[in-house]
């Protein structure tokens, strides 16, 4: 059995992803769809203001179709 250095693997993956994002000029963000009027969900989304957030609010009576 081989022991894997999780911290080293994590660092390598993060660096690779960071490089790919920079190379492709991507802007990373968080997409949030709030269904209904749950105050806790709204607080969560509002606390993410430091991120690029795309918001969409749907009423509780919306359908999946």
19-62, pLDDT tens digit by residue? 998 998 887 777 777 777 788 888 887 777 666 655 555 566 66
What is the pLDDT averaged over residues 2-25? 94
DSSP string computed for the chain: -PPP-HHHHHHHHHHHHHHHHHHHT----EEEEEES--HHHHHHHHTTTTS-EEEEEE-TT----
State the total domains in the chain: 1
pLDDT bracket for residue 11 (50, 70, 90):
very high
Domain membership of residue 65 (yes or no) is no
Q: What is the pLDDT of residue 42?
A: 80
**pTM exceeding 0.85:** no
Host domain of residue 54: 6-58
């Amino acid at each position: 059995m081989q022991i894997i250095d999780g911290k080293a693997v994590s660092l390598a993956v993060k660096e690779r992803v960071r490089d790919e994002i920079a190379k492709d000029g991507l802007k990373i963000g968080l997409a949030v769809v709030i269904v209904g009027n749950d105050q806790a969900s709204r607080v969560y989304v509002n606390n993410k203001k430091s991120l690029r957030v795309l918001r969409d609010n749907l009423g509780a009576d919306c359908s999946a179709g």
